[in-house]
Structure 1
Amino acid sequence: MPIIRMIDGINEVVGRIVSIVAIVFAGIIIYDVSMRYFLGEPTRWAFDLTKQLYGFYFIMLGGYALRHQSHVKVDLVTERMAPQLRRWVEVAGYLIFFFPFAWVFARRSLDFAITSYNQGEVTYGAVQLPVYPLKIAMFVAAVLLLIQGASEVLKLVLNTTTHLDSKEPMDVR
């Protein structure tokens, strides 16, 4: 289904791009440690910047993790169910738990981002970095998570989902 491929593709691209941020903040940490211990000149900006980059990295990978079923699942009850019943229990779980959470996450993070931008919010550290880009990223991450949830539910309903015991695609039509 084109909408599933589009949503999965968006989260795949975002996940791969955002994964580069881990390399960037690791490089900044190495640079800061080197400056501090070898040259006795610690940076004033590295700690605040790496905190923000890590927050960005962590929050933006939610949709990517859901796409690859890498999130935490408590499937003690559903693991013994027949695949057909398990699929419908998972759909119910998305409708009862996931979508309300993702909606609140998106709505509240949008409010946080707008307020942060309007106030010109900055960090409290030695170097005052703007906070609104991270809060905007929270909203974008919430939207990516929400649409990936929709993709996962469509896969379950249409029965074109990852087989529950493996990572290989299954199409039972």
Structure 2
Amino acid sequence: MPIIRLIDGINEVVGRIVSLVAILFAVIVIYDIFMRNAFGEPTRWAFDVTKHLYGFYFIMLGGYALRHQAHVKVDLVTARLGHNTRRWVEVAGYIIFFFPFAWVFTTRSWDFAMTSFNQREVTYGAVQLPVYPLKIAMFVAAVLLLIQGVSEFLKLILNKIDYIEQTEPMDVR
């Protein structure tokens, strides 16, 4: 289905791009350690920046993780069920748990982000970094998680798990 390929492709591209933030995160930490140990001059900004980058990194990879089935699942109950029964239990799980959670996460993170943006919220401390970009990223991450849930749900309904896993993600360049 084109919608499944599109959603999977979007989360694949976002996941690969966001994973590069880990490199930037590591460079800043190494730089701060070097400055502290070599010159006795720790940076005033590195701790706050790395907290923001880690938060961004962690939250933005939710849809990517769901696409690759990397979220925690409770397979103790479903492990002994047949393929079709397990599939319908997962469908019920999406309807009862995932979609309500994802909807609340999306709507509340939008409110949270817009409040922060309208106030031009910044951190407190030695360096005042803007907080609203991170909170806007939380909303974007919620949307990515929600649409990836739609993709996974459609795969379950259409029984397309095996087909989708064997194909390459769509190139959305």
TM-score range, shorter chain: over 0.9
Q: State the match for 2:16 in structure 1.
A: 16
- CA shift digits 1:114-136 (9 cap, x unpaired): 00011111011210000000000
Alpha-carbon distance between aligned partners in 2 of 1:21 and 1:168, rounded to the nearest angstrom: 26
Q: State percent identity of aligned pairs.
A: 78
CA shift, 1:139, in A, is 0.2
TM-score (normalizing by structure 2): 0.94
- CA shift digits 1:55-110 (9 cap, x unpaired): 00000000000000011001101010000010010000001000000111011110
Q: Tell me whether 1:34 sits opposite 2:46 in the alignment.
A: no
Q: State the match for 1:152 in structure 2.
A: 152
Q: CA RMSD in A?
A: 1.4
- Contact 1:160 1:169 survives alignment (8 Å): no
5+ long unaligned stretches in structure 1:
none
Q: Secondary structure at the match of 2:5?
A: helix
5+ long unaligned stretches in structure 2:
168-173
Q: State the match for 1:75 in structure 2.
A: 75
- Structure 2 counterpart of 1:34, which letter? F
Q: State the match for 1:96 in structure 2.
A: 96
- Contact 1:91 1:157 survives alignment (8 Å): yes
Alpha-carbon distance between aligned partners in 1 of 2:154 and 2:13, rounded to the nearest angstrom: 20
- Contact 1:21 1:53 survives alignment (8 Å): yes
- CA shift digits 1:112-170 (9 cap, x unpaired): 1000011111011210000000000000000000000000000000011049xxx9549
Deviant stretches of 4+, over 2 Å: 167-170
TM-score (normalizing by structure 1): 0.94
Q: Secondary structure at the match of 1:77?
A: helix
Alpha-carbon distance between aligned partners in 1 of 2:52 and 2:62, rounded to the nearest angstrom: 16
